[in-house]
Amino acid sequence: MESSTARSLFARGIFVAGVSVVLMGIINYLFRRLLIVNLSTDDYGYFYSCLGIALTLLAVFDLGMGESQAILISKYSEKGDFTRTRRLMNSVMFAKLAAGVLLLGIMLAALPALTEFTGKSEYGVLVLSMLLCTLPFVMVYSTHLSALQGKKDFVAHSGLQLIKFAMILIATWWFIKDYGIRAPVFSYFSGSVLVTVITVVYILARHRNLMLPLEVSGDPLKEVALYSVWVAISVAGQMFVTQIDTLMLTYFTDLHQVALYNVALPVLQIFHAFLIFPLVFAPIATNLWQHGAREDIASLFRATFDLLLACSWMFVLVVFVYAEPIVAMMFDEKVVAAAKPLMLLTCGTAFLIMSRVTITLLNAMQRQKDIALVVAAGVILNIVANVFLIPHFGMMGAAAASVATYMFIYLGSIRLLRKEIPLNSIAVSFLKFSVPAVALAFILWRYGTEVETGSVRHGLVGLLLGAYTVLVAVLLWKWIPYFRAVVTSQVAGDK
């Protein structure tokens, strides 16, 4: 690929991914705010309990197949082998569609037990059954999204996701006053069906050779499984951990706590914008590893580690001080109790973001099996921690279990990474950002978390946060030339 084409593709991928993350976060926030303002707390919690069941089933069943499919489609397309690309696409699509229908049948047969699990609601059976009916459509939709990712059609890949959730948001806003909890359910179902149709039409119009003529074979499915089974387990495990908390809260507590927990989650998605880092640096790390540049990979990781750690502490401190006003402003005064799990979950999210970077590097180093085992152990830890903590501490127990899991996965991945590249300065970096942040957190906890807005003490709190921001900027300044050089080198080289 010519350097100008590589530069354009790389820049477009970064831009589209960044814009998509921001817009998805805004849509998700608006949707949840719409529900919390117009539904009772119990109905809000019930909706997300049922949605949690559907999303957990998707996470467990897909087993990261989409990641494998995207990699193989990209590989075959670059070689011009459209026959294998088409067979892979169609085989995966029909396999997932058949499995989705089978899974739907099993879940509908178990509907009485599932509704008993999720709790009582006037429209309980309707809500759960309609959300489960989205499974076959989402299976087909996700297959096509993976194909677009493999074809490097970033605009369509992100745009179709935005279209889906924008349609759900608009339809819910239009009908929620008259239909209550039924509005988001029917909107979610109709949005899933419509975007699946739109995606198929787009594929046929722009990437027709991905689907036609129809060719199905069992060989591509075997290749998908053999190619990246460990990556699949790792991806599925990470997705499972993000969904299981809601289900465990539903089982051990009540819908009120489920609702509060799901108020805290969209606030965290603001920080999830940093998940773009693994996406941006994955090709750079892979390229460096193929050339045996271990020292360069170490420098890349140290720079990214410093940046993410600094931003993590900034986010933690801001949420620590302003959690209650943030929740009240973004949602409603009636759910301000969500500030407590939000503060704890923010600490865990920092480890989640950094672990994604380490996992990306380890996958580039062909350590998929090792990281998959770490993630699997993290899933077991999360389940056990939830079982022991939630009955005693409710939503705070669920938040603590998540933090412990993210820390475990991060520390496990760091230990694996140390065997591949020199990371001697990581401890120093951790201390230079964390010591002042922890000291500031203690001061804010002792003197500044309940101060009156506009008071002298409130001004001092802002001054302390500003001082830490300046310190962070000074510590990060040395990495600016490095980031500029490594990105310039990547886009100018062969891809």
pLDDT band at residue 174 using 50, 70 and 90 as cut-offs:
very high
Of the listed ranges 86-100, 160-174, 280-294, the one predicted with least confidence: 280-294
Pair (389, 326) in one structural domain: yes
d(CA 213, CA 304): 45
For residue 195, the model assigns a pLDDT of 92
Full domain range(s) for residue 476: 253-495
* Residue 173 exposed, middle or buried by CB count within 10 Å (0-12, 13-18, 19+): middle
> What pLDDT score was predicted for residue 451?
47
Residue 406 lies inside a defined structural domain of this protein: yes
Q: How many domains does the chain have?
A: 2
CA 122 to chain centre: 32
Inside any domain, residue 243: no
Q: What is the pLDDT of residue 232?
A: 67
When pLDDT is averaged across residues 377-397 and rounded to a whole number, the result is 91
Q: Are residues 266 and 224 in the same domain?
A: no
Tell whether the model's pLDDT for residue 450 goes beyond 70. no
Q: What percentage of the chain exceeds 70 in pLDDT?
A: 70
Q: Do residues 153 and 289 share a domain? A: no
Specify whether 275 is located in the same domain as 220.
no
Last residue of a domain, one of 229, 263, 295: 229
**Does residue 441 lie in a domain region?**
yes
Contacts for 399 with CB less than 8 Å, ≥ 6 apart:
245, 261, 264, 341, 344, 345, 348
Q: Which of 128-132, 229-233, 286-290, 374-378 shows the lowest mean pLDDT across its residues?
A: 286-290
Task: Answer for the pair 43, 121: CB distance below 8 angstroms, yes or no.
Answer: yes
Average pLDDT over residues 78-105: 80
245 part of a folded domain: no
184 and 320 belong to one structural domain:
no
243-259 CB burial, b ≥16 within 10 A, e <16: bbbbbbbbebbebbbbb
pLDDT at 273 over 70: no
- pLDDT band, very low/low/confident/very high, at 188 (cuts 50, 70, 90): very high
Residue 49 lies in a domain: yes
pLDDT band with cut points at 50, 70 and 90 for residue 418: confident
User: Mean pLDDT, to the nearest integer, of 80-92?
Assistant: 78
| Average pLDDT over every residue of 222-237 | 68
Q: What is the mean pLDDT of residues 156-178?
A: 90
* Digit-coded pLDDT (tens) for 141-151: 888 887 887 77
Say which residues have a Cβ less than 8 Å from residue 377's Cβ, sequence separation at least 6.
408, 412
Terminal Cα-to-Cα distance of the chain (whole angstroms): 6
For 20-55, the pLDDT digits (tens) are 777 887 888 888 889 888 988 888 888 888 887 787
Q: What residue type is assigned to position 380 of the chain?
A: I
Q: 6: burial class by Cβ within 10 Å (0-12, 13-18, 19+)?
A: middle
Query: In the structure, what pLDDT confidence band is assigned to residue 279 with cuts at 50, 70 and 90?
Result: low
- Residue 235 placed within a domain: no
Is residue 279 a part of any domain in this protein?
yes
Of 213, 229, 245, which closes a domain?
Answer: 229
Whole-angstrom Cα distance, residue 334 to residue 346?
21
* Run of H or E including 53: helix 41-62
Interval 271-278 mean pLDDT? 61
Indicate whether 452 pLDDT > 60.
Answer: no
How much is the pLDDT for 495? 44
> How far apart (Å, rounded) are the C-alpha atoms in residues 495 and 399?
41
Whether residue 236 lies inside any domain: the answer is no
Average pLDDT over residues 229-242: 73
Q: What per-residue confidence (pLDDT) applies to 472?
A: 65
Among the listed residues 36, 32, 53, the one whose alpha carbon sits nearest the alpha carbon of residue 248 = 53
Residue 456: per-residue pLDDT: 45
Is the predicted pLDDT of residue 308 greater than 70, yes or no?
Answer: yes
Residue 132 in tokens:
């489960």
Q: 68-72, 122-126, 384-388, 457-461: which has the minimum mean pLDDT?
A: 457-461
Q: pLDDT-derived band of residue 15, with 50, 70 and 90 as boundaries?
A: low
Distance of CA 425 to the CA centre of its chain: 29
Based on the domain organization, do 407 and 313 belong to the same domain? yes
Residue 279 is given by DSSP the state: H
65: left (phi over 0), alpha (psi -120 to 50) or beta: alpha
Q: Which pLDDT does position 96 carry in this prediction? A: 81
User: Do 222 and 268 lie in a common domain?
Assistant: no
Q: Is the pLDDT of residue 160 over 80?
A: yes
Shared domain check, 387 and 330: yes
Same domain, 3 and 96: yes
The answer to whether residue 482 scores a pLDDT higher than 60 is no
With beta carbons less than 8 A apart as the criterion, state whether 402 and 350 touch: no
Q: Are residues 415 and 363 in the same domain?
A: yes
pLDDT band at 460 (very low <50, low <70, confident <90, very high): low
Residue 104 has a pLDDT of 85
Q: Of 229, 262, 283, which one is at a domain's C-terminal end?
A: 229
pLDDT averaged over every residue in the chain? 76
Distance from C-alpha of 274 to C-alpha of 308, rounded to nearest angstrom: 8
pLDDT category, 467, cuts 50, 70, 90? low
Residues 295 and 183 in one domain: no
CB 278 within 8 A of CB 294: no
Report pLDDT for 488: 54
**Co-location of 352 and 308 in the same domain:** yes
Instruction: Please tell me whether residue 289 adopts helix, strand or coil conformation.
Output: helix
Mean pLDDT across 389-411: 90
